[in-house]
Amino acid sequence: MTLARIVDSHCHLDFPDFEGEIDEVVARAVAAGVERMVTICTKTQNEPKVRAIAEKFAPVYYAFGIHPMSAASEPLMTVERLIDVAQHPKMVGIGETGLDYYYTAESAEIQKTSLRIHIEAARETGLPLIIHSRSADEDMASILTEEFRKGAYSCVMHCFSSGPELARQMLDLGFYLSMSGIATFPKSQEVRDIFAAAPLDRILVETDSPYLAPKPYRGKRNEPAYTAHTAAVGAEVFGISYEDFAAATTANFDRLFTKASA
């Protein structure tokens, strides 16, 4: 696999899957050309651990928020808390937040409240919003569009695997779509088609590790080094070289995640 510089825009290095191995995982990522990675904090109490990982490793940055599946079990986030954490030099994004009606539809209302809090913090800080959306396309489009009209903010739809209509609406707002290992799966042609129809300057790549390992590692633990395998498929989708796709998605990352730009 080529060593063109690339970025893993979304991983979870604090998860138990990487316990005692983070040094090696980061080293393998760098060796595979992954020059930067953003590790995502999904619960309030995990922030010190996630921050410490970002502080220890030069290529690692972090984002902070409450995952929608935890919105009902966690204390409600405040805009002030998010703004406070955002003062850290390596805290570069708000989230992940969003809506998940696949696993946690019963907490839809608190998820919506939490999402709006994160949007306000993204507006206030100028940091990009990181969105998780599953089985909630209609409400997601409605809230993100309504809030954008109240005041602009930047956003990435992480691990995008929703429908073409949500993709179109998000792209119309100037948001970004992030490609994960899902795009490498044989049955994910619709996802590949959605990315192929999107502007190249709005695409990011990610692992969402330890989940969603791309081919040829599907079913195994994912890690940031495997970003390259998803990017290789991305290059095929756009009909360009791996080097050009890596350069484009890295430039997109720099434009969106300005605090982590090279």
Averaged pLDDT in 10-residue chunks for the chain of 262 residues:
85 98 98 97 97 98 98 97 98 98 98 98 98 98 98 98 97 98 97 98 98 96 98 98 98 98 78
Top-level class of domain 6-260: alpha beta
DSSP assignments along the chain, one per residue = -----EEEEEE-TTSGGGTTTHHHHHHHHHHTTEEEEEEEE-SGGGHHHHHHHHHH-TTEEEEE---GGGTTTSPPP-HHHHHHHTTSTTEEEEEEEEEETTT-GGGHHHHHHHHHHHHHHHHHH-PPEEEEEES-HHHHHHHHHHHHHHS---EEETT--S-HHHHHHHHHTT-EEEE-GGGGSTT-HHHHHHHHTS-GGGEEE---TTS-PPTTSTTSPP-GGGHHHHHHHHHHHHTS-HHHHHHHHHHHHHHHSGGG--
Query: What's the pLDDT score for residue 262?
Result: 62
Query: What's the pLDDT score for residue 3?
Result: 76
